[in-house]
A and B are shown apart, each in its own frame.
Chain A
Amino acid sequence: MRRTLPLVGLLVGIALGLAIPIHLSLQYASYLSVAILAAVDTVFGGIKSSLLRQFDARVFLTGFFFNAVLSAALAFVGSYLGLDLALAAVVAFGVRIFNNLAAIRHQILGKTKIASPN
């Protein structure tokens, strides 16, 4: 039962976000999308490390907020330097998300079906 708590949190967050009329100014919308990408990456990283039994709540929480803020800040600075750093964040986090997903898949498959070859 307690394992569903994160899912409930996600739903509550979505409901809150839809209910509270927060509107980002158009010029900042792209920074939020980069921050979301960083956040999703951190979540998948957390799932992976929890499957690998290497989970550390402090690393996870600080990583989540730090990555989100830093990537948005980088994209913001980039827009003033004429450099599309948002694109760099999209590529970097995109690659990491797929790596994490692959690791999660391997971990789950390895546990449930295939015995580890090593």
Chain B
Amino acid sequence: MESASRQIAAFTVVLSVLGMMLAVQYRDVTLGGAALFSTMPDISGAVSRLDAVDAENHRLLEQTRVTEQKINKLESQMIQEGGASSQALLLMRSAALLNGSTNVHGPGVTLTIRDGHLTGFAYEQFLTHDWDLRSVVNELFLAGADAVSINQVRITMQTGIFCIGPLIRVGSAKLGPPFVIRAIGNKTLLTDALNLPGGVLDALRAANRGLQVSKPVAHSDVQILAAGGVG
């Protein structure tokens, strides 16, 4: 009798735990996700693997950043020491400036463009368009800017600026307003170029657009990241 009651107790414990496991699994399966994973168990590890790859990626990016800093330091040393290699390095640095492969900081200007408000008569025009940003960027480069970025996305020779729906794709980044344009170069020249009467900013401020375009602000130190955010 003792054995029979022990048996019943054991079965009761086991079956109640099993019932609970079944219920939890049933609910997760009916929710949708778990069924997918139970038929494709390979995917179950994919999430953790993705996390691991992501972490490794971050580690490598950090390593790249540190190495590039070291290279920069050594290059600066070589340039100070002078000689033929310093000339080559200076050339290389100006090339790096063009292709956007290094972080840049220095005097420059910033400018913010925000979408306007729907006023009823200019319902298409109150959005910032790709050509608006392109005209500002082109104006800045024409005025001799060394580096330009929109919302910290570096504009290089190969960066396209296109509208995608309500957003603007700059390179591979999808940006929304406000668009903060940073430019490094002669700040007086850049400010004057932007403030040219009848120039790009005046066109953007036209009454039928309703965009909110800030005045270009000159700064003694503007930071612009390398293309891809590395460096």
Contact = CB atoms under 8 A, between A and B. Distances in A.
B19 A12 contact: yes
Interface stretch (A24-32, A91-99, A102-110): A24-32
Contacts of B19: 9-17
Contacts of B48: 27, 79
Interface stretch (B23-31, B98-106, B136-144, B193-201): B23-31
Interface string A1-43: 0110111111111111110001110111111110110011011
Given A3-B8, A29-B37, A57-B7, A10 B44 contact: no
Given A14-B19, A17-B22, A29-B28, A87 B14 contact: no
A55 B215 CA distance: 86
User: Could you tell me the dominant secondary structure of chain B's interface residues?
Assistant: helix
Contacts of B47: 26-27
Nearest to B48: A27
B15 A6 contact: yes
Given A6-B15, A7-B15, A13-B15, A36 B37 contact: no
A61 B27 contact: no
Given A27-B47, A33-B25, A10 B15 contact: yes
Interface residues of A, number: 47
Nearest to B42: A84
A9 B37 contact: no
A61 B21 contact: no
Interface string A59-91: 011001000100000010001100010110000
B18 A39 contact: yes
Interface in B1-44: 3, 5-29, 33-34, 37-38, 41-42, 44
A7 to B, nearest CB: 7
Nearest to A79: B45
A75 B47 CA distance: 15
Interface of A: 2-3, 5-18, 22-24, 26-33, 35-36, 39-40, 42-43, 46, 50, 55, 57, 60-61, 64, 68, 75, 79-80, 84, 86-87
Interface of B: 3, 5-29, 33-34, 37-38, 41-42, 44-45, 47-48
5 A-B pairs closest in CB distance: A17-B23, A13-B19, A79-B45, A29-B34, A13-B16
18 contacts: A2-B8, A6-B11, A6-B14, A8-B12, A9-B11, A14-B20, A14-B23, A24-B34, A26-B44, A29-B28, A30-B37, A46-B14, A57-B6, A60-B10, A60-B11, A61-B13, A61-B14, A84-B42
